[in-house]
Chain A
Amino acid sequence: MALPKYTEPHYRIWHYFYLFVCGCVFFFLIAPLFVIFPLSFNAEEFLVFTDGMKRLDPDAFSLRWYNDMIYGTKNPWGLAARNSFIIAIFATLGSIILGTLAALGLSSRHMPYKGLIMAILISPMIVPLIISGVAIFFFMAKVGLAATHLGIILAHIILGTPFVVITVTATLSGFDHSITRAASSLGSSPYNTFMKITLPLILPGVISGGLFAFVTSFDEVVVVLFLAGLDNTTIPIQMWTGLREQLSPTILAVATCLIVLSVLILLTAELLRRRSERLRGINR
């Protein structure tokens, strides 16, 4: 944003001040994440930059915390990671199926009571998590699903579906329904039409909703804190316990892995967003 030559000095100063403020805010947003990286390679047990690290002395860096994360004695991370992935994958699948079906129904112009139903469907997103946690815990305890994988998966489906419903209805808002009618008139069965026509077109929305659901489940800790037993600890639960009891560098090694994972998810989400925008652009 270069300023035109005729800009008056005090606007010039104001403009640079504005850029400076923006810079500070961006720094505030992103810098905390980068503290974790170097400290996870610390050779010492302290969570501060040692003098050796400041001098970039190679001996001050090590992979011992990564080693501890994977091979450490009594290490909880392997089990936690497995649980986290199992729960997140099934919760995502459940959210995608239920959410996409509901979004298809909701975007039909024949749908009665649209406003009320939409409000119910996205309510888990509006209600504070702690309340959802209490309510879901009461339900799971009553039906005997507390401290089981299934219970946690169902809980995460509840929390994840609103994202799928929202992204898929958004994609469907730009959807040309005459295409499906054309397919039907050419003799395609409704199932075939859905699989061959509708699904490929709304797929970016479905996947980006699924990504939201996955991240929600993978990062969810409040509800799991109520539901999880010893066998169902997840990565967030382990991190929560670790952060509460003792901040060890192993947690930072895990955190670094999670940041790498979120970079991957971010890239996928961005690619999908662009693809979906391109597709919608063609439709217009």
Chain B
Amino acid sequence: MSSETGKILTTDGIPLEESLKQSEKKNKIKAFLLVAPLLLFLIITYMIPIGDMFSRSIDDKMVTNMLPKTYKAMENWDGKELPPEEVFEAFYLDYKILVKNKTAGKLQTQLNYEKNGFKSVLKKLARKQKKFEEGNYKEQIMKVHKRWRNVEYWRAIKRRAPSYTYSKYLKGIDMYSNEDGKIVQVSEDRRIHRILWIRTVEVAFFVTLFCFLMAYPIAHLLATLPMKYSNLLMICVLLPFWTSLLVRTASWMILLQQQGIVNDFFVWIGLVADDNRPEMMYNKTGTYVAMTQILLPFMVLPLYSVMKTISPSLMRAGKSLGATPATAFFKVYFPLTIPGIGAGCLLVFILAIGYYITPALVGGASGTLISNQIAYHMKSTLDWSFASAMGLMLLTGVLVIYWIYNKLVGVDNIKLG
């Protein structure tokens, strides 16, 4: 009974607690409804497609769907010896339909990935199968080509039975699963992707480092100068920031070309001979120089906004207590700027690791990065599942960096000017 009397009622006769809960709920719904349009829009047009990339990257239904009877018949086959007659029959029937629908070419290509030389064997079967008689398909198929007696080829078909595969991911790190199902590395001269991954991380790392080394002094200068000078100098940072990426890349292409101004300058000061001008574009140098300049504002702005909040009296206090300027700087000032350094480095590194335009234009063959490879497979080879796999590997990398950063510095400490 005591609980009954203890309740405070509103004028409507509803307990106050309930009424408050209701209005809280209403407010929650109201707030959520405001966010809902954008959230739904992003989930449908962005989050789900990224998930779709994943299903594309592991999808391997093509072969499975082309040979339904064969895989059903193969279920009981252990793969040690040649398959029984029923598998041959099922394969003959599946293949007959494919040839009739003119889709046998796809199967030939796919199985050739699995076992070299499969294409010619299948092509021959496509020609000969028209004259097949009913019954005893095992003999008839083996008569077409002697390789049908080799159990390796049947194993190759069986390997493609699952509808899902992680082979694209293995390909992304230059590995593949061989005939015995073991994961091995591709031969040395074909390991292109690993080089690209290493180069991407290397370029992103050094660009971040260069940006940091260049941004720190100017951010400090901007934060300590009187307002009227610093505003003017800030334009030097903000104008490139607002200028089109392609315009800035174009200006580097002009500067770095062999007859360009940088080379002219080197010749003029006598660093290089006029007839021996170094190639500074279409290689890694070009990528480094252009990317550093383009990403520099992204380092300066967070650093500046953090340094702006550090009171100059702190350094003075340190010095008056007997610290040399260097000690005062490293013990007092530098630790206070760490949130800015973290934000700037994270921003520049993440931007650099996914950079595409600048490396493609000034990078040449030795300066292209993993994004260029993704774009190449999207636009040229049309191997979209491989492009998806590589994209997701890159995304995982970015998320891991983000996670580590969050553990070390905390994302809430990011300041963007």
* Separation of A98 and B242 alpha carbons in the complex (Å): 23
**B254 to A: closest C-beta gap in Å:** 5
CB contact between B221 and one of A22, A166, A239, A240 (< 8 Å): that residue: A22
* Separation of A136 and B257 alpha carbons in the complex (Å): 35
Q: Does B43 contact A (CB under 8 A)?
A: yes
Q: A111, B31: Cβ atoms under 8 Å?
A: yes
**CB-CB nearest in chain B for A274:** B231
**CB-CB nearest in chain A for B40:** A98
* Also in contact, A126 and B239, with CB within 8 A (given A33-B248, A240-B357): no
* Also in contact, A255 and B247, with CB within 8 A (given A25-B214, A138-B49): yes
Please choose the segment from A64-72, A102-110, A178-186, A199-207 that sits at the chain B interface, where 4 or more of its residues have CB less than 8 A away.
Answer: A102-110
Q: Does A279 contact B (CB under 8 A)?
A: no
* Separation of A30 and B56 alpha carbons in the complex (Å): 44
Q: Does B251 contact A (CB under 8 A)?
A: yes
* Separation of A39 and B233 alpha carbons in the complex (Å): 25
Q: A123, B28: Cβ atoms under 8 Å?
A: no
* Also in contact, A111 and B39, with CB within 8 A (given A21-B217, A262-B242): no
What are the interface flags for B16-36 relative to A under an 8 Å C-beta threshold, 1 for contact and 0 otherwise? 000000001001101111111
**B280 to A: closest C-beta gap in Å:** 13
Q: A28, B371: Cβ atoms under 8 Å?
A: no
* Separation of A35 and B251 alpha carbons in the complex (Å): 7
Q: A166, B378: Cβ atoms under 8 Å?
A: no
**B4 to A: closest C-beta gap in Å:** 30
CB contact between B53 and one of A18, A28, A138 (< 8 Å): that residue: A138
**CB-CB nearest in chain B for A24:** B214
- List of B residues within 8 angstroms of A1 by Cβ: 221, 224-225
Q: Does B287 contact A (CB under 8 A)?
A: no
* Separation of A206 and B239 alpha carbons in the complex (Å): 21
Q: Does A282 contact B (CB under 8 A)?
A: no
- List of B residues within 8 angstroms of A120 by Cβ: 39, 42-43, 47
8 Å CB interface, A244-269 against B:
244, 247, 251-252, 255, 258-259, 262-263, 265-266, 269
* Separation of A136 and B354 alpha carbons in the complex (Å): 16
Q: Count B-side interface residues using an 8 Å CB cutoff.
A: 85
Q: Does B380 contact A (CB under 8 A)?
A: no
- List of A residues within 8 angstroms of B351 by Cβ: 128
Q: B239, A33: Cβ atoms under 8 Å?
A: yes
* Separation of A247 and B255 alpha carbons in the complex (Å): 12
Please choose the segment from A55-63, A73-81, A218-226 that sits at the chain B interface, where 4 or more of its residues have CB less than 8 A away.
Answer: A218-226
**A31 to B: closest C-beta gap in Å:** 9
Q: B242, A266: Cβ atoms under 8 Å?
A: yes
Considering residues B225, B244, B325, which has the most beta carbons from chain A within 10 angstroms of its beta carbon?
B244
**B202 to A: closest C-beta gap in Å:** 17
CB contact between A48 and one of B50, B239, B244, B260 (< 8 Å): that residue: B260
- List of B residues within 8 angstroms of A89 by Cβ: none
CB contact between A112 and one of B28, B221, B248 (< 8 Å): that residue: B28
* Separation of A197 and B42 alpha carbons in the complex (Å): 29
Q: Does B249 contact A (CB under 8 A)?
A: yes
- List of A residues within 8 angstroms of B356 by Cβ: 129-130, 222
CB contact between B217 and one of A18, A29, A243 (< 8 Å): that residue: A18
Considering residues B45, B215, B235, which has the most beta carbons from chain A within 10 angstroms of its beta carbon?
B45
What are the interface flags for B192-207 relative to A under an 8 Å C-beta threshold, 1 for contact and 0 otherwise? 0000000000000000
- List of A residues within 8 angstroms of B31 by Cβ: 105-106, 108, 110-112
Q: A219, B245: Cβ atoms under 8 Å?
A: yes
* Separation of A193 and B41 alpha carbons in the complex (Å): 27
* Separation of A155 and B45 alpha carbons in the complex (Å): 8
What are the interface flags for A174-196 relative to B under an 8 Å C-beta threshold, 1 for contact and 0 otherwise? 00000000000000000000000
* Separation of A111 and B35 alpha carbons in the complex (Å): 9
Q: Does A210 contact B (CB under 8 A)?
A: no
**CB-CB nearest in chain B for A252:** B250
Q: B46, A102: Cβ atoms under 8 Å?
A: no
Q: Does B306 contact A (CB under 8 A)?
A: no
- List of B residues within 8 angstroms of A135 by Cβ: 46, 49-50, 52-53, 391
Q: A134, B388: Cβ atoms under 8 Å?
A: yes
**B351 to A: closest C-beta gap in Å:** 8
**CB-CB nearest in chain B for A107:** B31
**CB-CB nearest in chain B for A26:** B236
**CB-CB nearest in chain B for A46:** B259
Q: Does B345 contact A (CB under 8 A)?
A: no
* Separation of A258 and B248 alpha carbons in the complex (Å): 11
Q: Does B402 contact A (CB under 8 A)?
A: yes
What are the interface flags for B378-398 relative to A under an 8 Å C-beta threshold, 1 for contact and 0 otherwise? 110000100110011011001
Q: Does A215 contact B (CB under 8 A)?
A: yes
**CB-CB nearest in chain A for B375:** A130
**B10 to A: closest C-beta gap in Å:** 18
- List of B residues within 8 angstroms of A19 by Cβ: 221
Q: List 12 A-B contacts (CB under 8 A).
A: A1-B225, A18-B221, A101-B38, A105-B36, A110-B30, A112-B32, A117-B39, A128-B354, A131-B392, A215-B242, A262-B243, A270-B238
* Supplied contacts A29-B240, A108-B27, 13 more A-B pairs, CB within 8 Å: A19-B221, A28-B296, A102-B37, A105-B32, A108-B30, A110-B31, A127-B398, A128-B353, A133-B375, A134-B53, A138-B53, A161-B38, A252-B254
Listed from nearest, the 9 A-B pairs whose CB atoms lie closest are A128-B354, A105-B34, A105-B35, A108-B31, A135-B49, A110-B27, A139-B49, A102-B38, A32-B251
